[in-house]
Structure 1
Amino acid sequence: MKRVKIITDSSCDLNKDTIEKYDIGIVKLNVSFGEDVYEDGDIEKSEFYKRMDNSNELPKTSCPSPEKFVKHYDCKEEEILVLTLTSKLSATYSTALLAKNMFLEENNKKIEIIDTLNGSIGQGLLVVKACELAEEGKSLEEIVSEIEKLKNEVIFFGALDTLENAIKGGRVNPLAGKIINVLNFKVIIQVIDGVVKPVDKARGDNNCIKKVIDSVSKYINDDKKSLAIAHSNCIEKAEKIKEIMKDKYDFKNITISEVGSVMGTYTSKGAILISIL
């Protein structure tokens, strides 16, 4: 019997079916074009990328307010686990902690908050694992212990058409990023200890896909049971990678989702993200 409510933020990039299956609480981050502010997921992806393409400035992203977390803490479950976007790229983790303190001033619940040191589907895989443990009837303490261990085992790579937005948003080293952009390379990134780092480069989609698959494959072993793929407006690339990986490896779970507006701000169109756990 499930005793623990699992909550995360919208940067997890989980698909709708997964969110509904496990009744996951999603606290939405914000993305804004000038004075137009949207909650992550509330603007159609086609409109989002169109506006981003036509703007001279990068959309601004911001973490949820403490009040958004408090609303989710006010649920029927007495034990809550929150898994957030890496604290090295966002204030979402600290906001969740602040909201916990606010909520516990007038309420008596057990709330634990984990900084996943990940984002997008890397964060999402940890959220799903926490949900599976909760479904098994594990205690809050048992789930926290397992996720704290597993968060260091998540492997997360991405293939981006450009680093321009990631540079503007301060998500990658500016000098390294500009060199790659000037040479017109597509770039392979990896999330390492909560930070996004360029680790390789390639020319052309096929070479880029091959390199990102090769990068992930080095870490595949019998313990890695789940594969998650996310794309930013390029479902064909995601399906191609899914078929290649399905033919080569025996994953228990393979999912495809679309990169949300917050993550899409920095990945730009055409990006592929791959994570295994």
Structure 2
Amino acid sequence: MDYKVIVDSCGELTEEMKVSGHFETASLSIDVDEYHIVDDESFNQQEFLRIVAASPNCPKSSCPSPERYMEGFRCDAERVYAVTLSSELSGSYNSAVLGKNLYHEEYGEKDIHVFNSKSASIGETLIALKIAECEEAGMDFAEVIRTVEDYIESQHTYFVLESLETLRKNGRLSGLKAVVATALNIKPVMGSTPKGEICQLGQARGIKKALGKMVEEVVKNAENPSEKTLAISHCNCKERALWVKDLILEKIKPKDVIVLDTAGISSMYASDGGVIVVI
């Protein structure tokens, strides 16, 4: 095998990615009260949402260890890439870089590159697919890195959540002006900055209007959509995600569309009813 892509488990893998043999997940884990949940194939979203709803405490996540990444890099593939959550939101990127350094100390030279997605969830998925596309096109290692880094710079992440409570309690909204009163049912439209931090793009009363506003942002900022894949992930609200997809497709025509259910870490942050869009 020429290449392998390790995606931390905040990034969802499609069924095709799982069976291709080129992609691997480095699992984060989540602790809620006495429950320790590993974000892997065993993750049960319904059970997880039930546990979180019943707990007065905020779930806490832990990123993969440097040793876990090092073991992932130790494989038959000549070139190995890692794609991690935004370094502004998680220690996963630093952990992967440490894992790469450990690998070089232990086993010597190898082509390994760690990409900071500056995104999360399905944004990581798209970056992993972009790496595969570059590899399949026969690019050399340096060219893959250059092309994918450019792609990351051009990528936009948007989301609307039913509740920002988990993000707030875990300190992921630092630097953001106080988010408006939930009593008014005001839903902020959120996005990522070029650095990979979370910012507020707008707000609306009620989830449907907020999603509509998010779609406006997606359409307004979409550059060369016909060359891009539109990706949507959702936490336990498929109909809502498909409605958003249809709204977007009325306005722009991307080359492909992916809709996935959130895995563990994304479910933790998106909370029940959250929708994430990346293009």
How far 1:110 sits from its partner (Å)? 1.7
* Structure 1 alignment gaps of length 5 or more: none
Residue 38 (1) aligns with residue 40 (2): no
Matched residue, 1:203: 205
Q: Which 4+ stretches in 1 moved above 6 angstroms?
A: none
- The worse-fitting range, judged by mean Cα deviation, of 224-233 and 174-183 is 174-183
Matched residue, 2:172: 171
The DSSP-based 3-state class of the residue aligned with 2:202 is strand
Residue 28 (1) aligns with residue 30 (2): no
The DSSP-based 3-state class of the residue aligned with 2:101 is helix
- The worse-fitting range, judged by mean Cα deviation, of 201-210 and 54-63 is 201-210
Measured in 1, the distance between the counterparts of 2:18 and 2:118 equals 21
Structure 1 counterpart of 2:138, one-letter code: G
Percent of aligned pairs with the same residue?
28
Measured in 1, the distance between the counterparts of 2:179 and 2:243 equals 29
Aligned length: 275
Residue 66 (1) aligns with residue 80 (2): no
Matched residue, 1:265: 268
- Note if contact 1:164-1:177 (Cα within 8 Å) is conserved in structure 2: no
How far 1:125 sits from its partner (Å)? 1.2
Alignment of 1:47-86 (within 5 A): 47-86=47-86
Alignment of 1:125-136 (within 5 A): 125-136=126-137
Matched residue, 2:162: 161
The DSSP-based 3-state class of the residue aligned with 2:17 is helix
Residue 113 (1) aligns with residue 114 (2): yes
Measured in 2, the distance between the counterparts of 1:15 and 1:55 equals 31
Measured in 1, the distance between the counterparts of 2:149 and 2:251 equals 30
How far 1:178 sits from its partner (Å)? 4.3
- Note if contact 2:27-2:38 (Cα within 8 Å) is conserved in structure 1: yes
| Cα root mean square deviation, aligned | 1.8
Structure 1 counterpart of 2:257, one-letter code: I
- The worse-fitting range, judged by mean Cα deviation, of 127-136 and 200-209 is 200-209
What is the TM-score normalised by the length of structure 2?
0.92
What is the TM-score normalised by the length of structure 1?
0.92
Matched residue, 2:99: 99
Structure 1 counterpart of 2:105, one-letter code: E
* Structure 2 alignment gaps of length 5 or more: none
The DSSP-based 3-state class of the residue aligned with 1:162 is coil
